[in-house]
Each structure stands twice: as C-alpha cells, then as structure tokens.
Amino acid sequence: MESIKVFKVHTKSAKFFLIIGSIFTILAISLIIHSIMHGFNFHFLGGDWIWVLFSIQGILFIISGYSNINNQKYFIEWDGKELRFLLPDTGKQETIKFDQIESLNIRLFEIELKLTNGKRILNLGSLQFEDIKRIKQKFESMAHKSEATPSV
C-alpha cells in the first residue's frame, strides 16, 4: 500500500512550538499580572508592553504547533483495489474503489473522477510536487490500462 501525507510535518518541531509557546505565554501572563499589580508602565519603549508582545508571541507559537499537529491527519493512500483519502477540503475520510471509476480527467492540481455514482474532484493543491507527480502517475497508469482493455 502506498501512502502520502498531504502536509509534511515534523512532530518534534510541532511539539517544540507547543512547549515553547506555552512557556512564553505563562511567563508573559505572570509578568503582566505582576506589572499590573505594581503599576503598569505604559511607555512603549522601556515599558511593560514587552510582556504583552511576549504573550502574543507565545500564543502564535501555540497556534503554529497545534495546526502542524492537526495537519498530520491528512493523507492519500491506495492499494491494488481502492483509493482512500482524507483531504483538508472535505474533512472526512473517503474510499473509492478503482472499479467504480468510469473516467478521469487529470489537471494541474486536481484529478476529476467520474464514478458510477457521481463525480469526485481530488484537490492536490496542498501537496508537494513529488507527491503530486506520484499520484498523477498512478492515475495515468490506470487510464492507460482502461484504454487497453477492450469493452465488450
């Protein structure tokens, strides 16, 4: 079974962002509370605004780490009989059996599949070039096999 992750995410760096972001945010919020209790210095340069910016930076690190971990779930995989995928545009896992595909149209960043029970478009815009190339090669080989097989 071949499998392709839609987003290439390094788990260690995502966890690093979550941990560092949490530390920044907790430290900054505690320093903001300390500054408020002892008189907040409203001067932008040399004042206590640095802790507000520090907390915003921590929150942005947390958001970045969380989104990277959340993006790990998206994939496209296939074996000899079916195609399974979970893409960001749908948000749910789908399975298409290769024998249900009547025709296909391969475009630059999408593959249009005409199925026996409807139509499905695979948006490949989130993938890297090498992964798009592998997927297109798979579907092109399927198209050539169906053209070579005579219909009775």
pLDDT band, residue 24 (cuts 50/70/90): very high
Residue 111: pLDDT above 80?
yes
**pLDDT exceeds 80 at position 143:** no
pLDDT in tens, 80-94: 888 898 888 777 888
Region of 119 (left: φ > 0; alpha: ψ -120 to 50; beta: rest) is beta
Q: In this structure, what DSSP letter does residue 150 have?
A: P
Higher pLDDT, 59 or 99: 59
pLDDT for the residue 152: 44
Report the percent of the chain where pLDDT is more than 70. 93
Alpha helix (H) residue ranges in 2-152? 11-37, 49-70, 129-148
pLDDT value at residue 19: 96
What pLDDT shows up at residue 15? 93
pLDDT of residue 147: 59
Residues shown for the chain: 152
Q: Which residues contact 128 (CB under 8 A, 6 or more apart)?
A: 8
Q: Where residue 21 falls among pLDDT bands split at 50, 70, 90?
A: very high
Alpha-carbon gap, residue 37 to 50, rounded angstroms: 16
Q: How confident is the model at residue 137 (pLDDT cuts 50, 70, 90)?
A: confident
Express each pLDDT in 31-57 by its tens digit.
989 988 988 878 777 778 888 889 999
CA 52, chain centre distance (Å): 30
Which pLDDT score, from 0 to 100, does residue 144 have? 67
Task: Please check whether residue 73 is in contact with residue 7, taking contact to mean a CB–CB distance below 8 angstroms.
Answer: no
- Reported as type and span, the H/E element at residue 91 is none
Give me the pLDDT at residue 18, please: 95
Per-residue pLDDT at 145: 66
